[in-house]
Amino acid sequence: MDNGFLRGYLAECRDLVLSEIQEIVPHNRYRPILYDLILDYPLRVGKAFRPSLCIATCRALGGRVQDVLRTAAVLELFHNAFLVHDDIEDESLMRRGLPTLHLDYGVPIAINVGDGIFALCLQPLLDNARLLGLGKALRILEIVARMARESVEGQAIELDWIRRRQWHLRDRDYCRLSYKKTCWYSFIAPMQIGAVVAGALPAQLAPLRKYAAYVGVAFQIQDDVLNLTADEDRYGKEIGGDLWEGKHTLIVMHMMRCASEEEQTIAQKMLAKPRGGRTEEDVQYLLDLIARYGSLDYAREVALALACKAEQVLERAFASIPPSVHRDFLQSMTQYVTTREK
């Protein structure tokens, strides 16, 4: 499937979702000090990737876009709330090509904006009882509750690794982190919600969840690779930001396993520094080790292997699903996650 098709599908879903978000965000006297800031990240150039997955899954399984759109918009709001808080925790400088919210407005205001986004997500989910019926509404709430818990648990794991300066980690540790922090809110929840809205049977939900887990970890690995290799104008975030922030990527974990004892000691000291204390020389030393031990290529190979598994699972899951552009979009995702450039 060509990238033009993907871009077109994502753009169509994004337009629908942004219109729905505008309906969700209140128009009252607090607009200048809160709600305009809540719209800041969603209105920046982005892919609306998560709501698109939700919409595509629903429609591929025979559901209607008007039934899933409001919940898809909630997923985009959740995503942006997580981004606002993550940017503060990671001390990130750029988001979608512009300064992060906390750099522009300060940490207290950014925290409140993230909290405000979470608060706005509640009423649309309650509205599903009227729009979809109580059964589906409760099932969606269960999925969102699980998604939120998994996401904060994943963030807690990573923050604990940073606090304890834990770098001797295995691939399975990285996969567990990605499953909780990335897979659930980027892939599993969107696809499960889309399937529930469409009235999918439990037998259809299980393979979709397995697919989402495989492709979600591959997506995160590619994100780690792009952070070190992407074109800065296209990427929209700080190139090398993961090293400046001392993130626990599969790339760095592999490098630390392969490095000599002396190199590990030096690298750990550099990674233990706060962002403001890390120098260009520190980051370059880490980049040189990554290149020496082929850690980027290793990460790409792992991502491709996971994407292949995901493709096989999805083929079986969609064996009885009629052809459609929505099914085509989902099937093209396995290739997209490992070949995307931003």
Average pLDDT over residues 175-201: 96
**List of domains in the chain:** 3-339 (1.10.600.10)
Which tens digit of pLDDT belongs to each residue from 41-54?
Answer: 999 988 899 999 99
pLDDT for the residue 305:
96
Q: Determine the Cα–Cα distance for residues 71 and 55; give it in Å rounded to an integer.
A: 9
Q: pLDDT band for position 215 (50/70/90)?
A: very high
With beta carbons less than 8 A apart as the criterion, state whether 185 and 147 touch: yes
Q: Determine the Cα–Cα distance for residues 35 and 46; give it in Å rounded to an integer.
A: 19
Q: pLDDT band for position 220 (50/70/90)?
A: very high
Q: pLDDT band for position 237 (50/70/90)?
A: low
- Helix 171-178, helix 250-258: angle, nearest 10: 170
Average pLDDT over residues 235-245: 77
Average pLDDT over residues 216-230: 93
pLDDT for the residue 201:
86
Q: Highest mean pLDDT: which of 92-96, 299-303, 334-338?
A: 299-303
At 95, is the secondary structure helix, strand, or coil? strand
Alpha-carbon distances of 15 from 12, 18, 71, rounded to whole Å: 5, 5, 15
Which tens digit of pLDDT belongs to each residue from 14-41?
Answer: 999 999 999 999 999 999 999 999 999 9
Closest CA to 210 of 188, 193, 177: 188
Which tens digit of pLDDT belongs to each residue from 273-321?
Answer: 888 888 999 999 999 999 999 999 999 999 999 999 999 999 888 888 8
Q: pLDDT band for position 203 (50/70/90)?
A: confident
If 0-12 CB within 10 Å is exposed, 13-18 middle and 19+ buried, where does residue 4 land?
A: exposed
pLDDT for the residue 318:
86
310: CB partners within 8 A, 6+ apart: 211, 214, 215, 218, 334
Q: pLDDT band for position 146 (50/70/90)?
A: very high
Quote the mean pLDDT of the chain: 93
For residue 1, pLDDT beyond 70: no
φ, ψ for residue 235, nearest 5 deg: -70, -40
pLDDT for the residue 337:
87
User: Helices in 91-236 by DSSP H: which ranges?
Assistant: 101-105, 107-120, 122-132, 134-163, 171-178, 189-198, 202-229, 232-235
Average pLDDT over residues 49-61: 97
pLDDT for the residue 2:
66
For residue 235, pLDDT beyond 60: no
Average pLDDT over residues 323-337: 91
Average pLDDT over residues 313-342: 88
242 versus 102: which is more confidently predicted? Answer: 102
